[in-house]
Structure 1
């Protein structure tokens, strides 16, 4: 009996990787949005808060914004690399069927 390649399995794997890629991009956009919120908070702190150390609070918001942005970019590239490593294994089910 000859084993055939399960094309539905390969299609599901490809679709799962596409969903994972889209989720990774969405996560990057969420990091970017959060970083922008912190930057806007830093910009508006000086005008809204009339306290002595508002400059320190602004610097804290700006620093948090940059850190969040850098962490988001690192997270995006790390997951993108992992997704690319898994993509090359799709379609290699022939090896399991013909050995």
Structure 2
């Protein structure tokens, strides 16, 4: 399972369409790198901003470049390759289910 996860951090105002990027890191809990067809792997993430910014929105999108599978936000939608999904929290979990060996 190889895929790239892209997170974006933006800030918006009701009066202006202003987008600003702020520095942050993403911590990922360790997970196994081997998965069999039909197995599901839980991935846990936490966004750690370098400051405390008001009205920030976090989004996620992914690109799967090896193998086949589905990626789903736990208690949320299945992610579609290259579609952006709004995150409701800085801490989130994804389930990846392998559909190839």
Global fold match (TM > 0.5)? no
What interval of TM-score do these two structures reach, taking the shorter chain for normalisation?
A: under 0.3
TM-score, normalising length: structure 1: 0.23
Write 1 or 2 for the structure with the bigger share of helix.
1
Higher relative contact order (CA 8 A, sep 6+): 1
